[in-house]
Chain A
């Protein structure tokens, strides 16, 4: 064998051990133990009347004020569904005593500011952003909105009309119809199941809005987040006008879970079909979940990641979209709230493939509640959740929102630091037990699609045709 041949053999041998092209990228995480997380400095203080304030220094020459009041859709009774949205919009259009209606927006928009007032599930928020040099005006506006809200007749009637249109236009969005119906069925039309209808909007009066305002927009039921380049002492000084707000009390909604679980169990063998003549059906399933802080929260987060929250890494995505091309959008969602929670999963498929897609959705939900996840799935889910956690604190606004959320939910700051540790400690056994408990009553299923689906869907459950 000549030297040239020996070299060729050596090279060939090396190639057998080192694959051609780039070395495949392996997952680096050999050690899954997370390091405790520490937060950036956020100063807090309470005003004399009980508003909790969070301050974060920002080097951009701007001021952002977030006022968060404990009042949202979860506080609504059935006969007042939509009132939190109504109130937020009415305040937005009506302004305040010193800055009514158009004057409010002239004051803000002429200086390049942004104001947004909106209601969500648990809170109504006022967010005002201006350049730092307009700080005095910004604090004056926010204070006046809280102290002297202006629910004038014209603004209230305008909002009523706008909400009427919003209700009519809801029917244009099949996914929105399906999600709303699932929530309504689980929660009996109140709170999480609150459905705004024309009759409820018509019945809300200015007096109703003022009553809600006086009840919920009081100091002890508010928290404020401020991100700015201005120094802390200056901010405290600007807040003194708000000391005049009445103290009030901390107010939360309450939800009794047992009746909800019974409702889910009772309806779990049914498929509620809402006819709509569109080529693609939307299917949503759901059940009630535990509230934030429940010890099952962490194993359920991991479960949700594995099932459908982990995007392309999840089972639902893999089985429905990647392997079979049945759907573009498919996901599971888990939300833990102060007094309750919700689990949802959904997919959208063309008419012909809807039964197959729904059957896969149901099958995978049954599987996660009855068989342990694999070690690889568990390890990967925990690692992914923990490694992406840092990006929940990407901006100053993200950090402030976290603090406001902690404050609302009565959770200590250590909750943020402990989250990755708690995720890391989740076991396969805990995932299975928590999933079993979550899903043991079954799920409520809603399909929005052509009425011809009634027949093929009968193989999967008792089909009940309903109106949206």
Chain B
């Protein structure tokens, strides 16, 4: 506690604002000159940035594994695994692992049997007795559990923002801590990955099911996005929802989960990012001490499936007791294709700020939309992806009117785009790069994302130079090549009033 107390005083006596050096002008160059990388023998990549006066660090462990690495049998597994890695190990989260293990094995055996029987025949007469047995075992198991063990330890030691997330491309575990707790964190996290114990699996599976209901099924927009992506992608695993389908979550297998873990959570797919006030030499020594012991394992191959070129417009409609909404997406290449940078510019031109084309036209002038946004690089970036526009019609205007207006504006953009608008977008990108360097976690997320997804965090440092070279003709070319009818998918959420 004394260490924490001293830390508290130090943090607040010093100026906690960001120190990035005198004469700071270029975020890219600043990162290039100050981010240190280190690769361990087992393949783990470490990135460190010593910054700030406040002795705190933002920490991210990121794995290049997401829902795009799943098979049909394991849809939802990456996300389920993320949940399960909060349950502890053979030394953390248990009061007596030796006794607990026997019960865990029994729970697994009964649970797997129930699932297999239920999949074939939900009314199988053996199921009720097995469920009763499972319930008894879970009750017995409770005696040996210390729930949410990491949360307790981190909260006690000044940790904030302890969380994780799974995307189609990666899974990341994040926290901010006083720098003095770095070694404690390394010890805990390396232990978490050494031998995770998948306790409370069936309860957690229920929780994931509830999460799905919350995110996807209780609101129309969630259902729209899910169905839209499944239509836009007919082959590539980007089409699957990260959380899993309602029908398969309840059958996720704990044995498959363990296999998924050992197959995909390999050191060469792991990145550790440490941003904040630190002695980077000490950081490397600590990380080597705890994570260096992780043994190399074979790196699983990337997905071989390529989404075939779309050969005609696709349209889907979802009916729900929600107000209407429109999504339109066009297939495009991902980074580092030059066209991906162009699409970033297009996104800025169309929807960034109140002077952007679509905002001005659809919300201010024509008043047919209540909101409009665009996103370059949905639903992931490891593989070729989509440029997305989403908009909500304003009563009494219809989805049809909105869709038509959207395409008219894209045509207009192509016709009338000038260098002034391009300059405006570049100015906003430049300014954002400065504003967004305002927190340790903000920078850590950026570095971690690019290193994990593109295997090269330098993407950030060269980004602005790359977008600066894009001209009006590039925008026109990309609009002509990708923003065409045969390459687009349209999703509509239509209101269904229920009695």
Contacts and interface: CB of A to CB of B under 8 A. Distances in A.
Interface stretch (B18-26, B119-127, B263-271, B474-482): B18-26
Contacts of B353: 105, 109
Interface string B421-465: 001100111111011011110000000000000000000000000
B20 A313 contact: no
B16 A399 contact: yes
A375 to B, nearest CB: 15
B217 A129 contact: no
B1 interface: yes
Contacts of A34: 5, 8
A277 interface: yes
B76 interface: no
B129 interface: no
Contacts of A325: 202-207, 210
Given A93-B364, A112-B428, A28 B3 contact: yes
Contacts of B21: 59
B290 to A, nearest CB: 9
Contacts of A397: 438
Nearest to B215: A328
A388 B160 CA distance: 6
Contacts of B218: 174, 278-280, 282, 348
B414 interface: no
B364 A158 contact: yes
Given A59-B24, A310-B155, A131 B431 contact: yes
B90 interface: yes
B92 A25 contact: yes
B212 to A, nearest CB: 8
Given A109-B355, A387-B158, A280 B394 contact: no
B37 interface: no
Interface residues of B, number: 100
Given A58-B18, A166-B370, A325-B207, A393 B219 contact: no
Interface string A120-144: 0000000001110000000000000
A198 to B, nearest CB: 10
Given A93-B364, A166-B370, A27 B158 contact: no
Contacts of B151: 311-313
B148 A391 contact: no
Contacts of A420: 8
Contacts of B5: 31, 33-35
A323 B210 contact: no
Interface string A41-59: 1000000000000001111
Nearest to B393: A165
B203 A37 contact: no
A37 B9 contact: yes
A172 interface: yes
A19 interface: yes
Contact of A29 (B4, B160, B221, B367): B4
Contacts of A370: none
B12 A39 contact: yes
Contacts of B19: 59
Contacts of A197: none
Contact of A394 (B16, B191, B424): B16
Contacts of B191: 21-22
A24 B3 CA distance: 20
Interface residues of A, number: 94
B147 A312 contact: yes
Interface in A128-180: 129-131, 158, 161-162, 164-166, 168-169, 171-174
B304 interface: no
A422 to B, nearest CB: 15
B152 interface: yes
Interface in B1-43: 1-9, 11-22, 24-25
B91 interface: yes
B221 A172 contact: yes
Nearest to A30: B1
Interface in B190-249: 191, 194-195, 200, 202-211, 213-214, 217-221
A282 B218 CA distance: 10
Contacts of A61: 24-25, 434
Contacts of B203: 322-325
A114 B4 CA distance: 37
Contacts of A33: 1, 5
A110 B424 CA distance: 5
A350 B205 CA distance: 14
Nearest to B433: A112
B16 A393 contact: yes
B306 interface: no
A96 interface: no
A383 B154 CA distance: 11
Contacts of B310: none
Nearest to A318: B147
A185 B443 CA distance: 43
Given A380-B156, A393-B11, A165 B1 contact: no
Contacts of B194: 21
Contacts of A378: none
A467 interface: no
Given A29-B4, A158-B367, A328 B17 contact: no
A80 to B, nearest CB: 22
A460 interface: no
A28 B428 contact: no
A328 B210 contact: yes
Contacts of A129: 431, 435
Interface string A310-353: 11110001100111111111000000000000000000111000
Contacts of A349: 210
A113 interface: yes
A329 B427 contact: no
B283 interface: no
A173 B427 CA distance: 36
Contacts of A321: 207
B321 interface: yes
Contact of A40 (B12, B24, B147, B352): B12
Given A172-B323, A324-B203, A390-B56, 9 more contacts: A59-B17, A59-B19, A60-B24, A129-B431, A169-B323, A172-B322, A317-B148, A325-B203, A328-B214
Interface of A: 19-22, 24-25, 27-41, 56-62, 93, 102, 105-106, 109-114, 129-131, 158, 161-162, 164-166, 168-169, 171-174, 227, 276-280, 282, 310-313, 317-318, 321-329, 348-350, 380, 383-384, 386-391, 393-397, 399, 420
16 contacts: A21-B195, A27-B156, A28-B184, A56-B17, A59-B17, A61-B25, A102-B360, A105-B353, A114-B435, A130-B431, A174-B218, A311-B151, A311-B162, A318-B147, A384-B155, A395-B17
Q: Across chains A and B, which 9 residue pairs bring their CB atoms closest together, nearest first?
A: A112-B431, A325-B206, A312-B148, A112-B427, A387-B158, A280-B213, A328-B211, A325-B203, A312-B151
